[in-house]
Amino acid sequence: MTAETVITVDDLTVGFGGPPLFRHVSFEVRRGEVFVILGGSGCGKSSLLKAMIGLIEPSQGTITLLGEQLVNATGEDRRALLRRLGVMWQSGALFGSMTLAENVELPLEEHTRLSRPARQAVARAKLGLVGLGDAQGKLPSEISGGMAKRAGIARAMALDPPILFLDEPSAGLDPVTSAGLDKLITDIARGTGTTFVVVTHELQSILAIGDRCIMLDKAARGMIAEGDPKELRDHSENPTVRAFFNREAPSDAPEARPADTKVGA
Amino acid sequence: MDNSTAALSLDGETLRFTGAIDARAAERLWSEATTGAAKAKTITLDKVTELDSIGAVMLLGLDKPLDGAPPNIAEVLERNRRALESAPPVKPEKELPAIQALGAGAIRKARTFAGTLAYIGEVTMTTLRAPFQRGGIRPAELMRHLDEAGLRAFPLTILLGTLIGVILAFQSSIPLKRFGAEIFVPNLVGISLLRELGPLMAAIIMSGRTGSAYAAELGTMVVNEEVDALRIMGVDAIAMLVLPRIMAACLAMPVLALVMDLTGLIGMTGVMAALGFPFVAVTSQLKQWLSLKDLLGGLFKAAVFGAAIGLIGCRAGLSAARGPRAVGDAATGAVVGGIVAIIILDGVFAILFYRLGL
């Protein structure tokens, strides 16, 4: 039995006035899977994520989240749909004037009628879940990048949304913290049945967490592969996909020669 | 009744939850559950169909044994129990007793003061060394800041100067009219503009436009570690960042004050014309009563105000803390500090000029 589809992206084209960043992208995300959007820098991964959560209006195509289109939803419908999405931003996007606990409490305050002590207890549980139990009272400026990302996940999970979007969760983190974050994502996905849509270009992360993935390519201006990341690594016939998974430099990249490194001799 | 509708019932000493205990149910049932749990000895979850983490936190917060949870529900409970255990409630930080708090505050203030003194010393030394040092003065940087602090402030200064001249002339003509002394309006407006208001208003404009911009620009550089990068490259941050800004502010201020003076006088002349006094009457009054000394005294004050605004703006930027609020705080500090410093300096100048008989 295949799991229910929670996100449908159909024939999506996104551009900012000029030539499209990517075009005719279509895929489906199923309930409970960790779905990875991967590709090199500048191929439009983050823009695709922003289009999926309704921050960028696509030039063409539709995005259906949990059976509804965010672009068309207004008023209370839109609020209800947004309540069922969680987003972790690349830098954490924590509010600098609030402690971590207050950051996690904010969506609870906005979307529920829970009392303050109840909200505080839920925030404690969320921060405990991402391993930040002892940093609840800290300000975002007082914590490291990895902690900020985990706090970002805690805030995104505050309302137990069925879909979580993560933008570059492991970028810029050390291998140990990055592996810890990967484990956290798979634990939450397996434990709570939450669907994850993860944008990343970290190879190890993709292989560790991804159930399925799509790959975007800058040169092709679109999607060049879809499937299980391990399958793609081992059996893809597309040279760009193979190069990505095998960390090969593109064949036309200039080779560094020792003489090139001397400047102003 | 819908199966999934959450409810609770107290049966003797057992509190029984039924249905889906999710965020919506928790909102509704939290206080009822707390009162119910106080009377109950155990809580039974055998009829719970769904449980999310908000519901789990509510159940765990009741602090009573939880029985009969189906395996999937028990799993959610266990995960949240572990999470809550790893995040004990934070105790609010103890405040210092009054005397210690006073002492700590005084030490903080003293440190800030010492930092400011050191900064003024560093800027002074850099300024003295700059002409003899390679890269001491950067003409391109200086021109850029002169453009931003001076030229780009012209439209605003012209507008405000004219309006202030008009307002002063109108307001002073009302009492003077009672004595038939409207002809003295140019004297009053001329002297107050040249000696006081011209430099002061121009300084307030510069503090708001330029002082805050300096603080924000340097504050952002501090937050982005650009200032650290400069220091590590062996570039004197004061010479590269602070000196051109202070020089620009110091050089642009007298020009802005002059623009303020002139446009103010033009505004006043317009009002006098409207009141029926010819242009020549205004100029002859001004010639009789104003001396070059008044103008130069005002412009000298303006240059000192400019240096103070530049110093304070750069200091606020460079001492910005890390974090997203730092830049905003630095800009606020620059404007407030700049305006306070101008008024204090103006008071000092007033006493000084009076004593010197200028």
* Assembly ipTM: 0.75
In terms of domains, do B289 and B156 share one?
yes
- pLDDT at residue A249 in the model: 67
- Whether residues B79 and B187 fall in one domain: no
Band (A1; pLDDT cuts 50, 70, 90) = very low
Last residue of a domain, one of B54, B69, B86: B86
pLDDT for residue B334: 94
Same domain flag for B153 and B81: no
Determine the pLDDT at residue A198: 92
Q: How many CA atoms lie within 13 A of B2 on its CB side?
A: 4
| Residue B75 shares a structural domain with residue B172 | no
Hey, is the C-beta of A132 within 8 angstroms of any chain B C-beta?
yes
Q: What angle do CA B133, B135, B137 make, to 5 degrees?
A: 85
Categorize the per-residue pLDDT at B258 as very low, low, confident or very high, splitting at 50, 70 and 90. Answer: very high
Judge residue B270's burial from the number of C-beta atoms within 10 Å of its C-beta, 0-12 exposed, 13-18 middle, 19 or more buried: middle
Mark whether B282 and B200 lie in a shared domain: yes
> Chain A neighbours among B 86-125 (CB < 8 Å)?
86-90
Query: Which of B30, B86, B225 is best to mutate for the A interface (most A CBs within 10 A)?
Result: B86
In a domain, B117, yes or no: no
Cβ pair A128:B86 closer than 8 A: yes
Instruction: Name the residue range of residue B28's domain.
Output: 3-86
Checking if the pLDDT of B297 tops 90, the result is yes
How many residues does this entry show for chain B? 358
pLDDT at residue number A97: 82
* pLDDT above 90: percentage of residues in chain B: 53
CA nearest neighbour of A45 among A193, A195, A155, A202: A202
Of A97, A122, A191, the CB nearest to B57: A122
Q: Identify the pLDDT of residue B1.
A: 41
Q: How many domains does chain B have?
A: 2
**Rounded to an integer, what distance in angstroms lies between the CA atom of residue B86 and that of residue B262?**
70
Instruction: Kindly provide the residue ranges of all beta strands, DSSP E only, lying in chain A, ordered along the sequence.
Output: 5-14, 22-30, 34-38, 60-65, 85-88, 163-167, 195-199, 212-217, 222-227
Residues B143 and B71 in one domain: no
Q: Does B234 touch chain A (CB under 8 A)?
A: no
How many Å apart are CA B122 and CA A11, to the nearest integer? 62
Phi, psi of A90, deg, nearest 5: -55, -40
For residue A12, report the phi and psi dihedrals to the nearest 5 degrees: -85, 130
pTM: 0.70
B66 and B148 co-located in one domain: no
- Which strands make up the sheet holding A60-65, listed edge to edge? A22-30, A5-14, A60-65
Q: What is the pLDDT of residue B179?
A: 92
The answer to whether residue B111 is domain-embedded is no
Taking an 8 Å cut-off on Cβ atoms, the answer to whether B22 and A136 are in contact is no
List the single best residue of B21, B57, B93, B225 to mutate versus A (max A Cβ within 10 A). Answer: B57
Task: Please indicate, yes or no, whether residues B152 and B271 belong to a single structural domain of this protein.
Answer: yes
Q: Is residue B261 part of a domain?
A: yes
Domain-located, residue B92 = no
Q: Decide: B18 and B6 in contact? Cβ < 8 Å.
A: yes
Mean of pLDDT values over B184-209: 94
Residue B127 lies inside a defined structural domain of this protein: no
Domain boundary among B70, B86, B102: B86
Does residue B319 share a domain with residue B173? yes
Neighbours of A134 (CB within 10 A): 13
Eight-state DSSP code of residue B70 = -
pLDDT at A220: 83
Q: Among B65, B86, B107, which residue terminates a domain?
A: B86
How many whole angstroms separate alpha carbon B82 and alpha carbon A125? 8
Assess whether B46 and B188 both reside in one domain. no
Domain for residue B191, yes or no? yes
Rounded CA gap, B33 and B229, in Å?
58
Kindly state the tokens that stand for B22: 């999710």
Residue B315 domain-assigned?
Answer: yes
